[in-house]
Amino acid sequence: MKNFIISILLLIGSQSHAQVGVITITTEDFIPNAQWYVVKSDDPDWDNHVSFYAEVEVTKSVLQDILDDFDLKFKDGDPDEEGSLYWYLDNGNGYYSNVMFYLEEEGTASLDILTFTEEED
């Protein structure tokens, strides 16, 4: 019975695209794969950011889960001056988010979400 329960847990755990939760890293740490993270830094440019990095298809799937809550699709993204896509989201509670999708090297991509109030825009 013990082996059966462990097998079920391993099967369920292996089907997950991303871990639940957000971890904190420093600017010297390696970027985690398929994990939400924030960067601990004294630089105020890192405030209110959360990021995600994984293979392109995994990253697109995670992004689409976010966009579904706003009735948006990947194709609705606007390109910035560097060719990355972004979406401006109104969270409906006085906060707004810029969601950025970046293609990285070797079949990977990243998401960066900056959340702010209208006064900070």
**Digit-coded pLDDT (tens) for 56-108:** 999 999 999 999 999 999 999 999 999 899 999 998 888 899 999 999 988 99
DSSP state for residue 98 in the 8-state scheme: E
Neighbours of 121 (CB within 10 A): 8
Q: What is the pTM of this model?
A: 0.77
Give the Cα separation of 34 and 36 in Å (integer): 7
Work out the widest C-alpha separation in the chain, in whole angstroms.
58
Phi-psi region of 33 (alpha: psi -120 to 50; beta: other; left: phi over 0): beta
The H or E element that residue 117 is part of is: strand 108-117
